[in-house]
Amino acid sequence: MSELLEKAERLKTASQTLAMLSAEEKNEALEQIAQTLDRERAFILQENEKDMAQGREQGLSPALLDRLQLTNERLDQIIDGVRQVASLPDPVGEIIAEWTRPNGLRIQTVRVPLGVIGMVYEARPNVTVDAASLCLKTGNAVLLRGSTSALHSNKALVRVMKEALRTTTVPETAIELLEDTSRETAQRMFRLNNYLDVLIPRGGAGLIRSVVENATVPVLETGVGNCHIFVDESAERQMAIEIVLNAKLQRPSVCNAVETVLIHERWPYAADLLETLHARGVELRGDQRLASAYPFISEATEDDWYTEYLAPILAVKLVADVDEAIGHIRRYGTKHSEAIITENEVNVRRFFQAVDAAVLYHNASTRFTDGEQFGYGAEIGISTQKLHARGPMGLVAITTTKSLVYGTGQIRES
Amino acid sequence: MSELLEKAERLKTASQTLAMLSAEEKNEALEQIAQTLDRERAFILQENEKDMAQGREQGLSPALLDRLQLTNERLDQIIDGVRQVASLPDPVGEIIAEWTRPNGLRIQTVRVPLGVIGMVYEARPNVTVDAASLCLKTGNAVLLRGSTSALHSNKALVRVMKEALRTTTVPETAIELLEDTSRETAQRMFRLNNYLDVLIPRGGAGLIRSVVENATVPVLETGVGNCHIFVDESAERQMAIEIVLNAKLQRPSVCNAVETVLIHERWPYAADLLETLHARGVELRGDQRLASAYPFISEATEDDWYTEYLAPILAVKLVADVDEAIGHIRRYGTKHSEAIITENEVNVRRFFQAVDAAVLYHNASTRFTDGEQFGYGAEIGISTQKLHARGPMGLVAITTTKSLVYGTGQIRES
């Protein structure tokens, strides 16, 4: 039997045990994982160094090497993360709805684990522990498929977590790492509907597309954010400038950063905003009117309106009104996060109703699209799909429900 | 441009209008559809007769011809169905949650339409109207892909519905029929992620498998039900017999009918149950012990335990206890509907916790897994997947959410 099938079988069996554990048992397992990771720092760092050496040899970019590297400080963060997940309320077992039918049947809908989750991710080894702890917390078993470049680190982290579970009621087979990182095996994993209940890709657009295009297992899609801010005619000067700077520059590399700013052509402070952005080092690409009015704005191509720069680059465009802004966002947006800055309540309502996106903002930065910022405690990712979960996903996103029906002999008449 | 892309474009545009309509506007459109269908009965029946003639010529089975046929009585039911959907509450616009963050951001989660739904179904032309009215009610545009054998009927029904919409605020492009019913075009439809937000297959196992295996658009999977009833040691004689008869015979062809009964080996009334089933014409296939004890029980093969008979055939097996029953269901079940008949509360809790299925029953027939029976008013289907919706799906299953965030200039600090 292949490694994939063998581990999938084990996970399926483990998930049946996991589904019946109490919150206390799962939290105790998480605490054991935190303690064992802390105790095994030397081993983990030594194995990570093997990946780093190999990466340097293969000429990985400094950015990729940085993502791959574990340090004592990063281990602190990883261990803190596990304890934080343990401290969150357990969604499993919650009674979501309860009602009685005219024939006396009492129906309860309760929250239960999904079962077995397939996590597909790229270089960062911290995802290995992060994903495992979120899955354990919610009673899910997890198949981890990381990248080849992090294989030593991931093996070490999984070995340490399994060791920790040996002293708990959580079966150590609740966490399995797919060591065969070939493309062919990944493709087989994506179609393992009898074993995996959901796939969660975490990584760049290419990884996500590959999972979505090849999977028959349902996917929780996280994805690109080509986010917009529309600065309306009545926007307050200072507020608009601060929000745009924050949304572009506070962390340009993330999906909730702004990529295009649409400015009402009668907003009086366009020059102030654009000059401030330029002064703060943002490269500006604008429509024809803006490009001819400002020497520091180059003319945007059609591609620019589609681009998620993930860098200090910003597309800017003048629009005639809220409807032109809505039309632009409909055409180029990715349904992630879209903001309007205005003092006009009618335009807020129109924007909120007409724009189809996971999160819409009035007078706030798009950077708040985040599980922590929404108050969910932990974040699985930001869903850009419409089924199951939309926007920031907390623990609830990796659960499902079942209906329990209590009868007294009811049969169906028609 | 192909018919598929052209209609997909139109639907996407129509969905933006639909999302902003009030419940009254959508209900008025449904009432117009009901009236126009009523007025155009002669045309619809005449077009349906073309499909029937063609079907007879091609030697379709009497069962398939029966599914295909429209009559005045069936049109009554279809028209009633549209009015019933109109009478249900509109889930769109509902505020599901609302909270304020420490920084003053107020977050609202509201229910919105999915957008454009692709409905893939088989011969029954009633699905054309049923699906269209459920989608309109929830503000979704719909691409209908029925079968070639019902093409005249489907074209007539869609033409009549579009005619009805012309007098309303719902764009007539909110409903489109894919007239090109080739396999190749279906495959392209299943991968139209930029236009379709979800695919809903309605039909047999083959159709559903084909959609799940080929789609990159997210699927709301409805599926097979290999349902079990476990008759425990303490089950009441009369109740157990009535529930099993109801679950097997009240409508054997549906997914929530029982296919295997597991009988506790010390339940005193096994002979009564089995003889009653035999007397009522049920073909019984049992494990070795039952097959040797009863002349009217043939020995079941391994395949029988996996089979959804959808017919008056029942697999029966003796088990030692609730755990053996759970083990059997875990191995052969399809996570649809599973029942326990017992007076033992401890076993109910164990069964409810250990069996992973959409709906679990204590002392009631599995036949209640149904949107109407659950009190949802309308039914889109019964979901056998774990993401988004599980079990009977009402109108809410074809909606999603968006988060509206109200700020006063908040920016993110870290």
Q: Per-residue confidence at A356, pLDDT binned at 50, 70, 90?
A: very high
**pLDDT value, residue B323:** 98
Yes or no, beta carbons of A390 and B411 under 8 Å apart: no
- pLDDT, tens only, A87-97: 999 999 999 99
pLDDT at position A280 is: 98
pLDDT at A348 over 90: yes
Quote the pLDDT of residue B141: 98
Q: Tell whether B184 and B329 lie within a shared domain.
A: no
Side chain identity, residue B309? Y
Find the closest chain B residue to A219 by CA distance. B218
Q: Is the pLDDT of residue B123 over 80?
A: no
The stretch B345-357 carries a mean pLDDT of 97
Confidence (pLDDT) at A224: 84
What is the DSSP code string of A126-158?
A: HHHHHHHHHHHHTT-EEEEE--GGGHHHHHHHH
- Amino acid present at B332: Y
Task: Tell me if B412 is assigned to some domain.
Answer: no
Window from A208-222, B271-285, B286-300 with minimum mean pLDDT: A208-222
Residue B1 has a pLDDT of 81
For B159-214, how does the pLDDT look when each residue is reduced to its tens digit (9 = 90+)? Answer: 999 999 999 999 999 999 999 999 999 999 999 999 999 999 988 888 999 999 99
**B205 at A interface, C-beta within 8 A:** no
- From chain B, the residues in CB contact with A404 under 8 A are 352, 359-360, 362
Would you state the pLDDT for residue A293? 97
Mean pLDDT computed over A213-230: 92
Residue A344, domain member (yes or no): yes
* Structure confidence at residue B205 (pLDDT): 83
Instruction: Kindly determine whether residue A361 and residue B407, on different chains, have CB atoms separated by under 8 Å.
Output: yes
Measured between beta carbons, which residues in chain A are less than 8 angstroms from residue B99? 375
Using pLDDT thresholds of 50, 70 and 90, give the confidence band for residue A205: confident
User: Which helix or strand (DSSP H or E) is residue A271 part of?
Assistant: helix A270-279
Report chain A's mean pLDDT, rounded to a whole number. Answer: 96
Minimal C-alpha gap between B36 and chain A (Å): 30
Give the residue-averaged pLDDT of B130-150: 96
The 10s digit of each residue's pLDDT in A150-166 is: 999 999 999 999 999 99
Please indicate, yes or no, whether residues A201 and A232 belong to a single structural domain of this protein.
no
Residue A387 lies in a domain: no
- Give the C-alpha separation, B96 to B402, whole Å: 10
pLDDT in tens, B296-318: 999 999 999 999 999 999 999 99
* In a domain? residue A246: yes
A238 to chain B: closest CA residue = B409
Which residue, among B272, B237, B404, B257, has the nearest Cα to B338 in the 3D structure? B257
A248 touches chain B (CB under 8 A): no
In angstroms, the CA B279 to CA A339 distance is 69
pLDDT score recorded for residue B381: 87
Task: For A145-192, give the DSSP string.
Answer: E--GGGHHHHHHHHHHHHHHHTTSSS-GGGEEE-----HHHHHHHTT-
CA gap B358, B31 in Å, rounded = 34
Q: Is the pLDDT of residue A225 over 80?
A: yes
Task: Judge whether B215 and A213 are in contact, CB under 8 Å.
Answer: no
CATH number for the domain harbouring residue A70: 3.40.605.10
Please judge whether A403 and B246 are an interchain contact, meaning their C-beta atoms are less than 8 angstroms apart: no
Domain CATH for A267: 3.40.309.10
* Pairwise CB contact (< 8 Å): B193 & A212: yes
- Residues B203 and B240 both lie in one domain: no
CB distance A240 to A272 below 8 Å:
no
Which secondary structure element, helix H or strand E, spans residue A306, and what is its range?
Answer: helix A302-306
Which pLDDT score is estimated for A113?
A: 98
CA distance, residue B413 to nearest chain A CA (Å): 8
Q: Indicate if A167 and A306 belong to the same structural domain.
A: no
Region A392-407: mean pLDDT is: 96
Taking the Cβ of residue A246 and every Cβ of chain B, the question of whether any pair is shorter than 8 Å is answered with yes
Same domain, A10 and A102: yes
* Residues B243-261: tens digit of each pLDDT: 999 999 999 988 999 999 9
Residue A378 lies in a domain: no
Per-residue buried b or exposed e for A216-248, using 16+ beta carbons within 10 Å of the residue's own CB: bbbbbbbbbbbbbbbbbbebbeebbbbbbbbbb
- Is A379 within the bounds of a domain? no
Contact A405 B220 (CB under 8 A): no
Whether B414 shows a pLDDT value over 90: the answer reads: no
pLDDT at residue B74, as a whole number = 95
pLDDT category at B404 given cuts 50, 70, 90 is very high
* Integer angstrom CA distances of residue B8 from A328, A393, B193: 19, 30, 11
More confident call, A279 vs A64: A279
Burial label for B38, CB within 10 Å (0-12, 13-18, 19+), is middle
Q: Are residues A45 and A116 in the same domain?
A: yes
Query: Do B171 and B245 lie in a common domain?
Result: no
> Is B401 part of a structural domain of the chain?
yes
Percentage of residues in chain A having pLDDT higher than 70:
100
Q: What was the pLDDT predicted at A241? A: 98
The residue among A356, A370, A390 with the most chain B CBs within 10 A of its CB, best to mutate, is: A356
- pLDDT-above-90 percentage for chain A: 92
> Is 90 exceeded by the pLDDT of residue A173?
yes
- Whole-number Å distance between alpha carbons of A42 and A48: 10
The pLDDT assigned to B343 comes to 98
Based on the fold, state whether residues B185 and B292 are members of the same structural domain.
no
Average pLDDT, chain B: 96
Number of domain units in chain A = 2
**Above 90 in pLDDT, residue A381?**
no
The alpha carbon of residue B267 is apart from the nearest alpha carbon of chain A, in Å, by 17
* pLDDT at residue number A191: 96
Domain that holds residue A74: 3-221+393-405
Reduced to 3 states (helix: H, G, I; strand: E, B; else coil), residue A118 is strand
Tokens of B143: 């691409």
Per-residue pLDDT reduced to its tens digit, A106-131: 999 999 999 999 999 987 899 999 99
The DSSP bridge pattern shows strands A258-264 and A313-319 to be parallel
A335 part of a folded domain: yes
CA B54-B59-B62 angle, to 5 degrees, is: 100
Question: Same structural domain for residues A49 and A190?
Answer: yes
Q: Does the pLDDT at position A172 exceed 90?
A: yes
Could you tell me which chain A residue has the CA closest to the CA of B356? A402
- Considering the domain architecture, whether residues A191 and A101 belong to the same structural domain is answered as yes
- Per-residue pLDDT tens digits for B34-60: 999 999 999 999 999 999 999 999 999
Same domain? A72 vs A208: yes
Q: Domain check: are B86 and B150 in the same one?
A: yes
Q: Which amino acid is at A19?
A: A
